[in-house]
């Protein structure tokens, strides 16, 4: 293999696929990145066997071929090079890759591309075209609620299910549940229902970034792998097998109290309360008082720690229904608020049942169907 | 420190509390040496009447020794269910005068009535009122000491026992202390008293005469404190709510070393129930569960486990407690056990993260059980599983007594 690549292109490609490199693996070669000429471009790929990422960068291919080199080493090296052309050369069956850039020369020990795990290709199966912004927003609102411990593997994933032109993403970790919809330009050829590892979607969200190009999602015929294809980048993930809990029954449709507040104010008070909560049991208490005698309704956000002290912040609230109170784990409350902007409604029926967070769409815009359910903390008031 | 010291710190102590309570229901024992506490081989004198004290019997003494000193004494087992309401009534009386009440046990407390004088009367007057109300409302006697600080008031109430009131005026502390034996100072134990006697000090006055620097040279930091206290100087304020437990535990000494696994587990079951009730009442849950195990003759070991999710329910405490027990017991050849106890420490506000779709049945049940027990006593409701154990009428103890914190 002999190719010439611009240093900044190579660096970008390496940093993208570097996210899929295995950090602890019994298979040493998975700590490497695959470099391969591909139709006049250079393909970079890495995998930890759960997810695989590939990126293509423009290159002048002088001689076709493939090899693998340690990801960490080549990334650190390339990112330190000056912005110039990098020439990489490795003779057939050689174990040494030579790199030249400006007046710097080096050689890196390589491992044979033949030994690298096969990067799955999903070329058949059902495909769905997704709007990048809508997908990114849904991922940001859902993936954090997935379980981080794998005592119930299905909960470490995000459930994706299509219904006509609607694709619903949902995740739950046993204490909270997040559900977000994306509308599709056209209904997929067949109904899709898969569980994608939350980590894969987190990486996908990172790949999309501020990008606008549509994302193609393709699921293989045996429903074991999903591919997300962006311009010049692809991510393939092994799907989680199993049955996702039927979560719809966990979303209450009624409430006794509905409290609408400004998200930024709520976020600020929750952040302050969390400082006090972290030295106690991590509890933030919310008390809602409807408007009375011309005074506006009020949401009181408070926390206390026996040994430290206590804190109480108040914000104006539009409250329908009864005065009420509920306590949440500080992190769960902050997580959901961080996923929102504008105004949010908190709906609840009692201090010991679900708190339901729903964004309030500005007038004249399409209703936002996102819903986030958080189970409260059972506390003595 | 206050600019104008006034005698506002009161120490109130119920006289021979458990014995006084027994005399209420056994008036025929009045005037006799009465001892509450086990007469058995391993019993300990919990409280004794003043008549028994003249024979040299003291609380904390082994029952067998008390029996030797005073063979004619009447031994009664402790009945905490009978004493507890009186203790609650006593503390309630104190709180009628000031919220600044620092409990120092079931039968004693410190109060600071500073600022209440205009409305209620001065310290000595409030102390006599409290003594009158204890006598009329509970039917037993209390002694009280009044001074400018907790140390002097404590020594004063001891000096007034039984049924006395001793007021030490501001400035009179050193004079009040001077003739008293050195052991009357709460911080002087047998070791210190011995060391002081060796240099010819037997009264507090003699101690006060020694310069602080000399005592410091002899006893270190402890010496400086001794010098101050001998002069009646003590500036720790009365702290309300100091009685809040930092741990809750129950333990039990078996009258015969217990070899039976089922019985031992049943004991843990009962202890878990009672700890859970106390935790529920205090609104706490525990991050750490402890085990105390003693094998004969006196080999004590403790084990603890810290859990990720705080525990508070009886089932959770039982599970954690038996896990610790099974491990420690197996590691010690499953020998017969002399003492067994579990405890909950690392307490935090009781709060439980509810799971999606979870209901509150377990918490409601535990709350209801705690309520029944608070009203009708700990024995009012028991698990059937506990019935396998010989449950002593007087096996409780632990941290319901804040002194054992």
Read off the pLDDT of residues A272-281 as tens digits, 9 standing for 90 and up.
Answer: 999 988 866 7
How much is the mean pLDDT over chain A?
Answer: 93
Known catalytic membership, residue B108:
yes
Interface test with A, best of B348, B356, B357 (most A CBs within 10 A): B356
Instruction: Let me know whether A105 and A145 are in one domain.
Output: no
Active-site residue (options: B22, B51, B102, B108): B108
**Mean of pLDDT values over B118-143:** 91
- Structure token digits, residue A34: 């695959």
Residue B48 near residue B191 (C-beta atoms within 8 A) = no
| pLDDT reported for residue B359 | 65
Instruction: Let me know whether A277 and A330 are in one domain.
Output: yes
Whether residue B399 is predicted with pLDDT greater than 70 in this model: the reply is: no
| pLDDT reported for residue B65 | 85
SS3 B163: coil
Instruction: Identify whether A143 is part of a domain.
Output: yes
DSSP B219-278: HTHHHHHHHHHHTT---PPP-TTTT--SEEEEEEEEEEEE--HHHHHHHHHHHHHHHHHH
Question: Per the CB < 8 Å rule, is B354 touching A380?
Answer: no
Distance from CA of B361 to the nearest CA of A (A): 11
Q: How confident is the model at residue B405 (pLDDT cuts 50, 70, 90)?
A: very low
Q: Which residues of A touch B354 (CB under 8 A)?
A: 175, 352, 375-378
| pLDDT reported for residue B284 | 82
| pLDDT reported for residue B360 | 63
Instruction: Let me know whether A82 and A69 are in one domain.
Output: yes
Residue B51 CA to residue B73 CA, distance in Å, equals 9
| pLDDT reported for residue B394 | 37
Q: Which residues of B touch A250 (CB under 8 A)?
A: 356-357
Q: What angle do CA A338, A343, A349 make, to 5 degrees?
A: 90
Which of A133-142, A203-212, A300-309 has the lowest average pLDDT? A300-309
Q: Which residues of B touch A375 (CB under 8 A)?
A: 353-356, 358
Instruction: Give per-residue pLDDT as tens, A166-204.
Output: 999 999 998 999 999 999 988 998 999 999 999 999 999
Question: Per the CB < 8 Å rule, is B348 touching A280?
Answer: yes
Which residue of A lies nearest to B362 if distances are taken between CA atoms?
Answer: A378
Instruction: Identify whether A213 is part of a domain.
Output: yes
Instruction: Let me know whether A149 and A201 are in one domain.
Output: yes
Question: Per the CB < 8 Å rule, is A175 touching B356?
Answer: yes
Question: Per the CB < 8 Å rule, is A176 touching B356?
Answer: yes
Written in H, E and C, the secondary structure of B323-389 is: HHHHHHHHCCCCCCEEEEEEEEEEEEECEEECCCCCCCHHHHHHHHHHHHHHHHCHHHCCCHHHHHC
Q: How confident is the model at residue B352 (pLDDT cuts 50, 70, 90)?
A: confident
Question: Per the CB < 8 Å rule, is B349 touching A177?
Answer: no
* Whether A172 contacts chain B with CB within 8 A: yes
Written in H, E and C, the secondary structure of B284-298 is: EEEEEEEEEEEECCC
Residue A123 CA to residue B42 CA, distance in Å, equals 82
Instruction: Let me know whether A16 and A110 are in one domain.
Output: yes
Instruction: Let me know whether A244 and A258 are in one domain.
Output: no
DSSP A318-348: EEEES-EEEEEEHHHHHHHHHT--SEEEEEE
Instruction: Give per-residue pLDDT as tens, B234-270.
Output: 888 887 764 456 788 888 888 889 999 999 999 999 9
Residue A25 CA to residue A23 CA, distance in Å, equals 6
Q: How confident is the model at residue B373 (pLDDT cuts 50, 70, 90)?
A: low
Instruction: Identify whether A120 is part of a domain.
Output: no
Whether residue A136 is predicted with pLDDT greater than 50 in this model: the reply is: yes
Residue A268 CA to residue A334 CA, distance in Å, equals 9
DSSP A204-253: HHHHHTT--S-EEEEE-TTSSEEEEEETTEEEEEEPPPS-----GGGS-S
pTM for this structure?
0.61
Distance from CA of B358 to the nearest CA of A (A): 9
**Mean of pLDDT values over A39-49:** 95
| pLDDT reported for residue B297 | 76
User: Which residues of B119-159 form beta strands (DSSP E)?
Assistant: 142-147
Residue B323 near residue B344 (C-beta atoms within 8 A) = no
Residue A22 CA to residue A28 CA, distance in Å, equals 9
Residue A62 near residue A98 (C-beta atoms within 8 A) = no
- Residue window 249-288, chain A: list those with CB within 8 Å of chain B: 250, 280-281, 283
Interface test with A, best of B285, B354, B363 (most A CBs within 10 A): B354
**Mean of pLDDT values over B96-110:** 85
Question: Per the CB < 8 Å rule, is A281 touching B349?
Answer: yes
Whether residue A206 is predicted with pLDDT greater than 50 in this model: the reply is: yes
Q: How confident is the model at residue B390 (pLDDT cuts 50, 70, 90)?
A: very low
Domain boundary among A248, A282, A315: A248
- Structure token digits, residue B337: 């056990």
Whether residue B319 is predicted with pLDDT greater than 50 in this model: the reply is: yes
Residue A293 neighbours by CB under 8 Å, 6+ apart: none
* Whether B371 contacts chain A with CB within 8 A: no
Instruction: Let me know whether A21 and A86 are in one domain.
Output: yes
Instruction: Let me know whether A162 and A262 are in one domain.
Output: no
DSSP state of B203: B
**Mean of pLDDT values over A68-95:** 93
Instruction: Identify whether A226 is part of a domain.
Output: yes
- Structure token digits, residue A228: 């997300």
Whether residue B280 is predicted with pLDDT greater than 70 in this model: the reply is: yes
Residue A127 CA to residue A147 CA, distance in Å, equals 27
Whether residue B308 is predicted with pLDDT greater than 80 in this model: the reply is: no
Whether residue B367 is predicted with pLDDT greater than 70 in this model: the reply is: no
Domain boundary among A73, A92, A115: A115
Nearest to A303 by CA among A330, A265, A263, A337: A330
Instruction: Identify whether A368 is part of a domain.
Output: yes
**Mean of pLDDT values over B183-199:** 85
Instruction: Identify whether A61 is part of a domain.
Output: yes
Residue B384 neighbours by CB under 8 Å, 6+ apart: none
Whether residue B381 is predicted with pLDDT greater than 80 in this model: the reply is: no
Q: Beta-carbon neighbour count of residue A64 at 10 Å?
A: 13
Instruction: Identify whether A380 is part of a domain.
Output: no
Domain boundary among A196, A214, A248: A248
Integer-rounded Cα radius of gyration of chain B: 23
Residue A198 near residue A140 (C-beta atoms within 8 A) = no
Q: Beta-carbon neighbour count of residue B72 at 10 Å?
A: 10
The ipTM value here is 0.82
Instruction: Let me know whether A241 and A135 are in one domain.
Output: yes
Q: Which residue has the higher pLDDT, B307 or B159?
A: B159
Domain that holds residue A175: 126-248
* Whether B404 contacts chain A with CB within 8 A: no
Instruction: Identify whether A312 is part of a domain.
Output: yes
Instruction: Let me know whether A94 and A152 are in one domain.
Output: no
Quick one: what percent of chain B has pLDDT higher than 90?
37
Q: Which residues of B touch A373 (CB under 8 A)?
A: 356
Q: What CATH code is carried by the domain that includes residue A144?
A: 3.10.150.10
Question: Per the CB < 8 Å rule, is A378 touching B360?
Answer: yes
Instruction: Let me know whether A352 and A267 are in one domain.
Output: yes
Q: Which residues of B touch A354 (CB under 8 A)?
A: 356
Instruction: Let me know whether A259 and A356 are in one domain.
Output: yes
* Whether B360 contacts chain A with CB within 8 A: yes
Number of structural domains in chain A: 3
Residue A332 near residue A255 (C-beta atoms within 8 A) = no
- Structure token digits, residue A224: 């074991």
How much is the mean pLDDT over chain B?
Answer: 83
Q: Which domains does chain B have, with CATH numbers?
A: 1-171 (3.30.70.270), 174-230 (1.10.150.20), 247-400 (3.30.1490.100)
């Amino acid at each position: 293999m002999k190719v010439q690549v611009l240093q900044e292109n190579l660096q970008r490609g390496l940093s993208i696929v570097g996210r899929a490199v295995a950090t602890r693996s019994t298979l040493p070669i998975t700590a490497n990145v695959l470099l391969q000429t591909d139709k006049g471009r250079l393909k970079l790929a890495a995998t930890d066997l759960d997810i695989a990422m590939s990126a293509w960068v423009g290159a002048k291919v002088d001689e076709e071929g493939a090899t693998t080199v340690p990801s960490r080493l080549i990334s650190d090296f390339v990112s330190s090079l000056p912005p110039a052309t990098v020439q990489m050369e490795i003779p057939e069956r050689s174990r040494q890759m030579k790199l030249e850039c400006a007046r710097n020369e080096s050689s890196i020990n390589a491992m044979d591309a033949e030994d690298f795990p096969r990067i799955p290709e999903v070329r058949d199966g059902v495909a769905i075209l997704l709007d990048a912004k809508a997908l990114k927003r849904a991922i940001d609102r859902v993936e954090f609620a997935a379980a981080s411990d794998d005592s119930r593997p299905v909960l470490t994933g995000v459930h994706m299910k299509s219904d006509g032109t609607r694709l619903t993403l949902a995740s739950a970790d046993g204490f909270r549940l997040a559900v977000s919809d994306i509308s599709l330009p056209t209904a997929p050829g067949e109904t899709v229902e898969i569980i994608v590892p939350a980590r894969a979607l987190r990486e996908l969200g990172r790949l999309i970034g501020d990008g606008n190009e549509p994302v193609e999602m393709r699921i293989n015929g045996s429903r074991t792998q999903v591919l997300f294809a962006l311009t010049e980048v692809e991510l393939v993930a092994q799907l989680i097998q199993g049955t996702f809990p039927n979560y719809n029954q966990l979303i209450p449709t009624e409430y006794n109290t509905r409290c609408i507040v400004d998200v930024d104010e709520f976020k600020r008070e929750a952040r302050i309360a969390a400082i006090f909560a972290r030295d106690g049991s991590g509890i933030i208490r919310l008390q809602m008082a409807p408007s009375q005698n011309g005074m506006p309704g009020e949401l009181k956000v408070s926390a206390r720690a026996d040994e430290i002290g206590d804190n109480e912040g108040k914000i104006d609230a539009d409250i329908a229904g009864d005065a009420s109170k509920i306590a949440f784990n500080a992190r769960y409350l902050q997580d959901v608020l961080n996923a929102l902007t504008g105004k949010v409604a908190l709906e609840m029926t009692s201090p010991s049942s679900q708190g339901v967070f729903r964004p309030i769409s500005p007038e004249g815009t399409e209703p936002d169907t996102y819903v986030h359910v958080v189970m409260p903390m059972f506390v003595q008031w | 420190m206050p600019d104008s010291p006034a005698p506002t710190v009161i120490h109130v102590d119920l006289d021979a509390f458990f014995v006084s309570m027994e005399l209420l229901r056994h008036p025929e024992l009045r005037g006799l040496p009465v001892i509450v506490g086990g007469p058995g081989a391993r019993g300990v004198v919990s409280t004794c009447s003043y008549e028994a004290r003249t024979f040299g019997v003291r609380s904390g003494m082994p029952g067998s020794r008390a029996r030797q000193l005073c063979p004619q004494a009447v031994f009664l087992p402790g009945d905490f269910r009978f004493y507890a309401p009186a203790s609650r009534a006593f503390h309630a009386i104190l709180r009628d005068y000031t919220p600044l009440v620092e409990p120092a046990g079931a039968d004693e407390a410190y109060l600071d009535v500073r600022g209440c004088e205009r409305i209620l009367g001065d310290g000595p007057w409030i102390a006599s009122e409290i003594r009158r109300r204890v006598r009329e409302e509970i039917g037993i006697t209390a002694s009280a000491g009044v001074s400018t600080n907790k140390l002097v008031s404590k020594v004063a109430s001891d000096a007034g026992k039984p049924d006395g009131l001793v007021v030490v005026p501001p400035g009179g502390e050193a004079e009040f202390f001077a003739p008293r034996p050195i052991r009357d100072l709460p911080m002087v134990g047998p070791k210190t008293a011995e060391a002081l006697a060796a240099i010819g000090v037997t009264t507090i006055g003699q101690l006060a005469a020694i310069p602080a620097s000399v005592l410091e040279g002899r006893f270190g930091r402890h010496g400086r404190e001794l010098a101050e206290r001998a002069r009646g100087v003590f500036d720790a304020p009365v702290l309300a709510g100091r009685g809040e437990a930092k741990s809750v535990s129950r333990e039990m000494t078996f009258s015969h070393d217990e070899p039976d696994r089922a019985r031992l587990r049943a004991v843990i079951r009962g202890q878990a129930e009672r700890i859970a009730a106390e935790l529920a009442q205090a609104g706490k849950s525990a991050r750490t569960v402890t085990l105390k195990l003693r094998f004969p003759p006196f080999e004590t070991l403790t084990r603890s486990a810290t859990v990720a999710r705080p525990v508070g329910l009886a089932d959770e405490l039982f599970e954690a407690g038996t896990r610790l027990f099974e491990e420690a017991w197996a590691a010690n050849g499953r020998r017969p056990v002399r003492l067994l106890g579990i405890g909950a420490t690392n307490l935090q506000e009781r709060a439980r993260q509810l799971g999606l779709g979870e209901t509150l049945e377990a918490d409601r049940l535990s709350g209801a059980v705690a309520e029944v027990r608070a009203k009708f006593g700990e024995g009012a409701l028991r698990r059937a599983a506990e019935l396998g154990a010989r449950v002593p009428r007087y096996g409780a103890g632990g941290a319901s007594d804040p002194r054992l914190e």
